[in-house]
Structure 1
Amino acid sequence: MAGILYLLLTGGILLGIYTAAINWNIPYTAGFVVSGFILFSIAPSVISELVHPVFGVLGQILVLVFLVGMALLFVEKSGLDDLLS
């Protein structure tokens, strides 16, 4: 039950950040994306010590999907999607 609650709370928080990021300016969004990927790669996950490891991995996947979504939002905001198409 704790793992499901962890995933629900994490998803809710990330959804809130993403919906707020729609109104952010381009430099702020870029800084968030870069720092998010750096922190994701260097920060150890201790969640597996608190909940079942499967939920820890699912949470990491959820955060990674969120960061990719934020990167796509940055590409769209900065106009780079016109260059890529």
Structure 2
Amino acid sequence: MSLMITDECINCDVCEPECPNGAISQGEEIYVIDPNLCTECVGHFDEPQCQQVCPVDCIPLDPGHEESREQLYAKYERIMAVEE
């Protein structure tokens, strides 16, 4: 699954620079995660970095975007191929 940011977000700005895929950006009111770019840090780190730094624990799994670890890794490979 990709991750999502809930409305409990306090706009503290710590998650955005931690995302290795650039999936996090400022939305209209709170930060948002692009599910097309979120790999839960698969391919980069053992754990999602945004969840590690979030002071209010407002970044759960997004039930609307279920993906296996293999699918997340395939997405990571596609993202890295585009960046090259």
Q: TM-score, normalised by structure 1?
A: 0.27
Decide which structure has the larger Cα Rg and report it. Answer: 1
Bigger RCO (CA 8 Å, 6+ sep) = 1
Higher strand share: 2
* Length-normalised TM-score, structure 2: 0.27
